[in-house]
Amino acid sequence: DTIRQHGADGLVLLPNTRRGTLLAAKLGYRLKAAVSNDASTVSVQDGKATVKHMVYGGLAIGEERIATPYAVLTISSGTFDAAQPDASRTGETHTVEWQAPAVAIARTATQARQSNSVDLDKARLVVSVGRGIGSKDNIALAEQLCKAIGAELACSRPVAENEKWMEHERYVGISNLMLKPELYLAVGISGQIQHMVGANASQTIFAINKDKNAPIFQYADYGIVGDAVKILPALTAALAR
């Protein structure tokens, strides 16, 4: 109702998180609006939004022109570069009075979530591990490299969701992190498109993989073919000097 009070049409942008996509669906129903999740590009022409996003698990790009007066979009963090400040542009702030919902949810308790707080979106250097690292214990080798060069640690989706070796918040790829660091060092990552859409915007990609035919080498600027468990300690020692 508040959105309708400020215009008969418009573009509503939300983060592409679990909560954001849930809210997008509810707003789409209430506003009778088309909803598009995980948008990678957005353009507006003649008052209508055109959106592109990954389809078929990242194997293709789908394009949608939204015809409804309102459009509700979710966007992953890091998808777009920050715009340069423009002092000539102005906007309006509308103060909205809080209206309690007719059916409220009562919070009976809270529990702190067990996860490491890290802002990978802003990291200059990222070391990312895949299942090729071999085991959860071997991730310590990547952590030592991170400490030596001042990098943040990330991972592929299978490491977080299948193996449960690392937190969900650290996996790079479709439906999660879209990174643009100065250096992305991929360790034991095969390089499937579902992962690379989240890392391909990196300024420099360095890959370590024992499979010389791994797709990651098609994206990498530099690469080493070999066992990451043997290479990481040597690389850490060399860079720590």
Flag whether pLDDT at 115 surpasses 60: no
Per-residue pLDDT, averaged over 191-207, amounts to: 94
Residue 157, marked binder: yes
**pLDDT for the residue 212:** 96
**pLDDT for the residue 66:** 95
**pLDDT for the residue 98:** 82
Domains of the chain: total: 2
Per-residue pLDDT, averaged over 47-54, amounts to: 90
Residue 19, marked binder: no
pTM: 0.69
Q: Which domain holds residue 154?
A: 120-239
Do 234 and 132 sit in the same domain of this protein?
Answer: yes
Domain endpoint, select from 10, 40, 75? 75
3-state SS of the chain is CHHHHCCCCEEEEEECCHHHHHHHHHHHHHHCCEEECCEEEEEEECCEEEEEEEEHHHCEEEEEECCCCEEEEEECCCCCCCCCCCCCCCCCCCCCCCCCCCCCCCCCCCCCCCCCCCCHHHCCEEEEECHHHCCCCCHHHHHHHHHHHCCEEEECHHHHHHCCCCCHHHEECCCCECCCCCEEEEECCCCCHHHHCCCCCCCEEEEEECCCCCCHHHHCCEEEECCHHHHHHHHHHHHCC
Residue 26 counted as domain residue: yes
Residue 96 counted as domain residue: no
Question: What is the CATH classification number for the domain harbouring 133?
Answer: 3.40.50.1220
Residue 220 counted as domain residue: yes
Mean pLDDT taken over the chain: 91
Q: What is the pLDDT of residues 154-176, one digit of tens each?
A: 999 999 999 999 998 899 998 78
Residue 193, marked binder: yes
Residue 156, marked binder: yes
Do 142 and 49 sit in the same domain of this protein?
Answer: no
Residue 189, marked binder: yes
Residue 86 counted as domain residue: no
Residue 97 counted as domain residue: no
Residue 131, marked binder: yes
Do 130 and 213 sit in the same domain of this protein?
Answer: yes
User: Among the listed ranges 7-11, 180-184, 205-209, 234-238, which one has the minimum average pLDDT value?
Assistant: 7-11
Residue 178 counted as domain residue: yes
Residue 163 counted as domain residue: yes
Residue 194, marked binder: yes
Question: What is the CATH classification number for the domain harbouring 25?
Answer: 3.40.50.620
Residue 25 pLDDT level (bands cut at 50, 70, 90): very high
Do 137 and 65 sit in the same domain of this protein?
Answer: no
Residue 218, marked binder: no
Residue 105 counted as domain residue: no
